[in-house]
Structures are given as structure tokens and as C-alpha cells.
Amino acid sequence: MTKETIGYLALGSNQGDRESHLENAIVKLEEETDISIVKASSIYETDPVGVTDQPAFLNMVVKFETSLDPVKLLKVTQKVEQMGGRVGKGTWGPRTIDLDILLLNDENIQLETLQVPHPRMLERGFVLLPLKEVEPHLRLNAGRSIDEYINQLTDKEGVRKWKSSFGGEGFARFES
């Protein structure tokens, strides 16, 4: 099947075995015939944002190809979250796994259930730093470089590289 859309997903976990939750989500995404993971960032440990009285998060970004339309892709990411033990969609609260669609080609999507580009991605060091690792020359909003946005971040000190390579055996092809 032809995979026509290039996209980027942010993954995060701060409950239980955080690294395993990230790894399992990627395995589940790879099991979808219409999604291929192309590249994965390192894993970053991040201080919580918003609700700060909770454990630190592990975050990463993956680049993928898909032939799914955006709504079907959202349903797949929500299914992966549910299979990973995600309950509710509370804002900034603890979670076993969280998947956010960041970008899909150059599309601007404004639906009740989905906004692409992700509406808060440019404010989040835990998204932009791993995104830059996966796509260092990425241009966003009116052609501005990702570095311009990173330089304006106020929370990047709370984002630390936790593990340079992602996953175990079979995941080496995702390494940056």
C-alpha cells in the first residue's frame, strides 16, 4: 500500500514502566499495515508541565508514513492509547501513554477532535527538542526554522536527554 503522508507523533508516559509504554506504543503502531515508522528520537525525561505534582515524563517523537486519512489516524492513536492502559483525556495529568499528532505533511486541519499542526507544540520543549532530532531542518509556520522556536522556549531546561538510542533489539533502525 502506498504511504503518501509524512507525519510526526509525540509520545509521552509518566506512569509505571515509562520506557516500556513508549516501546509498546511504537510496536502497536508498526502493527498497523497503513503506518510505517521511519525514525525515532532519543528519549527525553521531562519535568511535568501544568500539573507539576506528578512523576516526570519520558517523551519522544517519531516520524512516520501513512496512507490513513487524519481522522482514521487519530482513531488508531486513540486505540493504541487505550491498549496501553490510558484512561480519560485529562489535561496535563498522569498517563501511561499519550500520543499526539504533531504534523501531517503541510496540512492545516481544524476539526472538533483534531488540530494539526498540534496547537501547543511550538510552546513545548519536550516536543520541539526530540522533533528537531528527528527532522533537524524542519521549517514551521511561514518557513521559520525549528531552531528559532527552540531558542524562544522557556521550559527547555526541564527537558533532559534520558536515553540516546530507542528500544532494544529490532528498534535499531529507528535510531537518529
d(CA 73, CA 66): 8
Q: Going by C-beta distance under 8 Å and a sequence separation of 6 or more, which residues neighbour residue 90?
A: none
Q: DSSP letters along 99-165, please?
A: EEEEEETT--EE-SS-EES-TTGGG-HHHHHHHHHH-TT-EETTTEEHHHHHHH-SSGGGEEEEESS
**Residues marked as catalytic:** 86, 95, 98, 100
State the Cα torsion 96-57-40-148 to the nearest 10°: 140
Q: pLDDT per position in the chain (176 positions), as tens?
A: 456 899 999 999 999 999 999 999 999 999 999 999 999 999 999 988 777 788 899 999 999 999 999 999 999 999 999 888 766 556 666 788 999 999 999 888 888 888 888 888 888 899 999 999 999 999 988 789 999 999 998 777 788 988 886 655 555 555 54
d(CA 145, CA 99): 24
The pLDDT assigned to 1 comes to 43
The pLDDT assigned to 45 comes to 95
d(CA 171, CA 152): 33
Q: How many residues does the chain have?
A: 176
Say how many C-beta atoms besides its own lie within 10 A of residue 70's C-beta: 18
Listed residue (104, 97, 152, 163) closest to 130, CA to CA? 163
The pLDDT assigned to 88 comes to 53
The pLDDT assigned to 98 comes to 92
The pLDDT assigned to 110 comes to 85
Q: b or e along 50-59 (b: 16 or more beta carbons within 10 Å of the residue's beta carbon)? A: eeeeeeebbb
The pLDDT assigned to 27 comes to 93
Q: Are 117 and 102 in contact (CB under 8 A)?
A: yes
Q: Going by C-beta distance under 8 Å and a sequence separation of 6 or more, which residues neighbour residue 3?
A: 34, 35, 36, 65, 66, 67
**CATH superfamily membership of 5-162:** 7,8-Dihydro-6-hydroxymethylpterin-pyrophosphokinase HPPK (3.30.70.560)
Domain ranges within the chain, ordered by starting residue:
5-162
